[in-house]
Amino acid sequence: MHMMTIAAAESARPEPEKPIANSAHAFRYPGPLVVAMMILAVCIGMVMCVVQPALNAPDEDYHWQRAVQVSHGQLLADRHGGQDYGGQIDLAALEFAHWASTHFQSASAFSLSQARQVSAALESSQGMVRASFPSSATFSPLAYLPQATGIAAARHWGGGVFAQMIAGRMANLLVYLALMASAVWMAPCGQRLLVLLALTAPALHLAASVSADPLNFALPALLFAWCLRLRLDETTSLSRRGCLGLGLMLIALSLLKPIYLLLGAMALLVPARHFGGQHGRRVFLMVTIGAGLALTLAWNAAYPFMPGRYWGTDAVPKTVLLNIFHAPVASLAYFFHSLTHQLPIMWLDGWGRMGGYPPPFMTHASTALSWAGLATMLAIATAEGHQPRDLRASAFMAALAALFTCIIFLAFWLTFSPSNAAVIQGVQGRYFLLAFLLIGWALVCAAPFGNALQQLRSPLLILGLTLQMVSLLQGIENFRFYWAN
């Protein structure tokens, strides 16, 4: 992963023999305020690794088991028939996950000192045991490499399961922030918008966990920033090594989530000159997207997973498809009703939610605060408008965001939502962070008033970060039952 990031950064540096002054798209490096915010995020995130309840992020107790498995070098989960996937992990790690899960399911609060005491008591639980964690075992090891590295290091130094969890969280946080900082460095425009999205309370909450979601957002964000820079910054050229790095990043998308292969379409924004012409670009896209598609199909054939069946929601894909075929108008109306009803909730959930289990293990920012955050982001996207405007890139990113959003809803309609649900169920705000980013950058590329509003950029960034800090502090305060005891 680090090699890919380094290759991306080196290949996209402006060539010294091309004078920046001659380009209307000269690259703008992030200002001191942005750099300071990323440094502050490291400090705040490190604290969050400790003060948020153990394994409390969405599905973190399942991600923990998969990360522990990868930390032992087992990259491919065991298959035991049906949807029973898992493998050998430490007995202490499994018992720690079960202890936390029991509290989550019963909404019974526990404290930081209790988590450490349980970890100490589990030091006598030696050896490996077979565990089943299908919801995370079906993911490729790519998104677990940071956490697994931290867990393995802590275990090597004699740390118990609590210390391993903290080390895994910290490693995940540092890799996430390093990738997002690289994306901010790489982006030719909309850097402040990217900082705001990267540092929302839920994003930092997830980054300071052992979840796979942080890399699922950071790696595509870096790819988006690189593709935009190759398009908008005329001082940038793509070398052979850079072409290899870009291709590997496109293929890596297929190892995150199946529908992420769609996001590889961002490479269509890269001008053909970077590939030696139209033919070279066609060959590049056919090879990389073809390899990614083959990898996705192979992985999901080896580890097929039906969320509705696993979580017992009574979802039947065949029935949904038949209903769509026999009643297309009614099905389309139901689908768009779900979109209009759920999308506002997705913003509130994606901007202000911390925690993945019933209260007291979940907290939400106020509705007013969440909408104020959205208004600030829209304002900063307008103020950061790129000059000259690129309406084609704007329309493309807006269409890609809409298509990505519809496919997410369709996937949950088919594989998770109960047949009698009033709207499509199962979708969560964190799934749409990349769609929010694409829409924001679409506004940046289309906004006509960017230069006229330059003086508003830093104040809007400060306002947005202040709103997010308020949301973050409220969330941490709501977890006081954990960190204050």
As a whole number, mean pLDDT of residues 425-448 equals 94
Sheet holding 128-132, edge to edge: 78-79, 85-90, 128-132
126: tokens are 């030696």
Task: Give the list of residues 6+ apart from residue 28 with CB closer than 8 angstroms, or none.
Answer: 188, 189, 191
Is there a contact between 188 and 27 (Cβ–Cβ < 8 Å)? Answer: yes
Q: What sign does the CA torsion over 93, 62, 198, 266 have? A: positive
* Gap between the Cα atoms of 35 and 103, Å rounded: 39
As a whole number, mean pLDDT of residues 227-232 equals 94
Q: What angle do CA 171, 177, 181 make, to 5 degrees?
A: 145
- Is there a cis peptide before residue 146, judged by omega within 30 degrees of 0? no
Is there a contact between 257 and 404 (Cβ–Cβ < 8 Å)? Answer: no
Question: Residue 444: helix, strand or coil by DSSP?
Answer: helix
> Residue 314 has what pLDDT?
82
* Gap between the Cα atoms of 222 and 245, Å rounded: 12
Is there a contact between 413 and 342 (Cβ–Cβ < 8 Å)? Answer: no
DSSP strands (E only) in 35-127: 78-79, 85-90
Statement: residue 176 has pLDDT above 90: yes
> Residue 450 has what pLDDT?
67
Count the Cβ atoms, other than its own, within 10 Å of residue 331: 16
* Gap between the Cα atoms of 416 and 310, Å rounded: 9
> Residue 308 has what pLDDT?
84
Map tokens 């000259």 to a residue. Answer: 388
- For strands 128-132 and 353-354, give the pairing: unpaired
Closest Cα to residue 28, out of 390, 406, 328, 451?
A: 451
Count the Cβ atoms, other than its own, within 10 Å of residue 259: 17
Q: What is the pTM of this model?
A: 0.91
Question: Residue 85: helix, strand or coil by DSSP?
Answer: strand
> Residue 31 has what pLDDT?
66
pLDDT one-digit tens code per residue, 235-273: 888 988 999 999 999 999 989 988 999 999 999 999 999
> Residue 4 has what pLDDT?
43
| DSSP type of residue 255 | T
> Residue 340 has what pLDDT?
96
DSSP letters along 120-153, please?
Answer: HHGGG--SEEEEE-HHHHTS-GGGGHHHHHHHHH
Q: What percent of the chain has pLDDT over 90?
A: 77
- pLDDT band at residue 426 under the 50/70/90 scheme: very high
> Residue 125 has what pLDDT?
87
- For strands 353-354 and 363-364, give the pairing: antiparallel
